[in-house]
Amino acid sequence: MDLGLNRVTRLLEALKPPSTSANAYDLAPHLTYPIIHVAGTNGKGSICAYISSILQASGFRVGRYNSPHLITPRDTIQINNQPISQSDYDYVTEVVRQKDRELELKATSFEILTAVAFYWFAYERVDIAVIEVGVGGRLDATNVVPNPKVCVIASIGMDHGTVLGNTIEEIASEKAGIIKQGVPVVVSFQVEGEKVYKILEDKAISVGLPLNKVIKAKPALGHWAELEDDGFKFWLPLLGDFQLENAAAAIRAIDVLRKNDKSDMIWSQKITEETIRKGMEETVWPGRLQWVEDTVAPKEVNGQMLIDGAHNPAAAVALRSFVNEHVARRSLLSGIRPRIHWIVGLTKGKDIEEMFDILLFQHLHPQNQGSETNTFSAVEFTPPEGMPWVSSIAAQEVCDRLTQRRDQQKENCWGSLEIRSFGTDLRAALAWVGTQRQEDDVVILCGSLYLVADLFRLVQQQRK
């Protein structure tokens, strides 16, 4: 992974329109509209989705750039929740690649995609864009933005250690690289606590800024939630307790935008408590703690299933916590503890033994003891388009390493665990699980957003 800002900076400068153009703005594309910049390890995509939805509900034309993509690279580049069309994507990509060739930059695929997003948002004249960092922050291609309206830092945890550092402090320092002089910074609740807060505070102090620490919202009745500091109530459509953190950070970022930007009063005029509530309620973020069933679920699995892109230890903790609560409710209602059928694909370079410990072994969850036989189906996801540095761990290797871990953790395992490898055949894994599941069993597909993407593609094929 080749990080750095030189290539993307030169590329965007070269993408200024000619002075004779009817759309001439004499600026590089990423300098022509306001931006909210979001970094972090877990939750930054959800925060982007909330912020974008609130801004759209307030009447703005909102660009959003997220990564990685779910189905195709076009998914990452959206205006008002609609991805760039195939024809526009092909055209703008060729414009960007032509400049890259002319300058002999040899920009990475992510830098090309980032430039496409910035260029298209400028061409389409968005009112504002919400930009998610790809990896880290300091040297990420999106950090070419010199003066965003607000910077947001989501929960920081251990991930991409070979690129960003081997300690939480090193990783936090890389994420803090998006903090800039004169730009308000909002920091989500940090599970790692003071180790992370100190790094972020030191960076903020170095550029003369206060740190807007966010207290996570508290749950209210049903899907309602409430901010701790001012009692603001809103509907929270996304699942998982961690969304209380993400939602609070998004609302705080919006509040900072509308109250702190004295240069443009349009934010305070158009964003109201009503539009914030509407935007929160209408937020959609697929593939993250999402129940699918009926026509949205694969027919092979014979019923409802939970899908989640959890791909690192912190995300695995959130997933397991949600599953624990769900299993407890099911057990209370039926008097029988449901079995869990895991369908998992994992990315090379991840600490999968720690993932196994969190998801599968009860020493971390002593309240969930049981004697049932759960199943674990390992599969390999399709290599994502335009991301040659990402690849799946071989399914058989996953099974071998899990078997070894199970033997080491025998006394801590929930009941027994049947382990199977399905190679690259997701459909076969789903079909086998479909034959094994009983009425109250829980089916969970997780480990990578790229595996979630494979599932969505399979369902799309079945619906044609």
pLDDT at residue 366, as a whole number: 47
Quickly tell me which residue has 């070419």 as its tokens: 144
Q: What are the Cα distances from residue 213, in Å, to 81, 176, 184, 196, 238?
A: 29, 14, 11, 12, 22
Structure tokens at 334: 């039926």
Cis peptide leading into residue 210 (ω within 30°): no
Which residue matches tokens 């690279």?
73
pLDDT band with cut points at 50, 70 and 90 for residue 215 = confident
**What is the rounded average pLDDT of the residues 307-322?**
88
Confidence band for 20, pLDDT divided at 50, 70 and 90: very low
pLDDT band at 436 (very low <50, low <70, confident <90, very high): very high
Tracing tokens 């057990």 back to the chain, one arrives at 331
From residue 214, how far is each of 13, 186, 303 by CA, in Å? Answer: 36, 7, 39
The angle, 0 to 180 degrees and rounded to 10, between the axes of the packed helices 44-57 and 243-260 is: 50
**Residues 6+ positions from 258 with CB-CB distance below 8 Å:** 267, 268, 271
Model confidence pLDDT, tens digit, residues 360-405: 875 444 444 555 788 999 999 999 887 788 899 999 999 999 999 8
410: pLDDT confidence band, cut at 50, 70 and 90? low
Query: What's the mean pLDDT when you consider all of the chain?
Result: 88
Mean local confidence (pLDDT), 54-79: 94
Enter the pTM of the model: 0.89
Mode of pairing for the β-strands spanning 218-219 and 224-226: antiparallel
> How many CB atoms are located within 10 Å of the residue 132 CB?
24
Token code pair at residue 333:
């209602």
Report which DSSP code applies to 383. Answer: P
> Which domains are assigned to the chain?
5-282 (3.40.1190.10), 290-463 (3.90.190.20)
Are 58 and 66 in contact by the 8 Å Cβ rule? The answer is no
Eight-class DSSP state of 392: B
User: Are 53 and 282 a contacting pair, CB within 8 Å?
Assistant: yes
Answer whether 379's CB lies under 8 Å from 300's CB: no
User: Three-state SS for 169?
Assistant: helix
pLDDT digits (tens, 9 = 90+) for 315-362: 888 899 899 888 888 777 777 788 899 999 999 988 888 889 889 875
Share of the chain above pLDDT 90, in %: 56
How many angstroms separate the CA atoms of 52 and 250, rounded? 9
More confident residue, 302 or 145: 145
Q: Where are the alpha helices (DSSP H) in 127-193?
A: 161-164, 168-175
Residue closest to 213 by CA, chosen among 235, 194, 236, 239: 194
SS3 340: strand
| pLDDT of res. 405 | 87
**Contact by Cβ (8 Å): 158, 186:** no
pLDDT bin (cut points 50, 70, 90) of residue 241 is confident
Could you write out the three-class secondary structure of 409-430? CHHHECCEEEEEECCCCHHHHH
pLDDT at 162 over 80: no
For residue 307, list its beta bridge partners.
290, 445
Closest Cα partner for 257 from 150, 404, 366, 116? 150
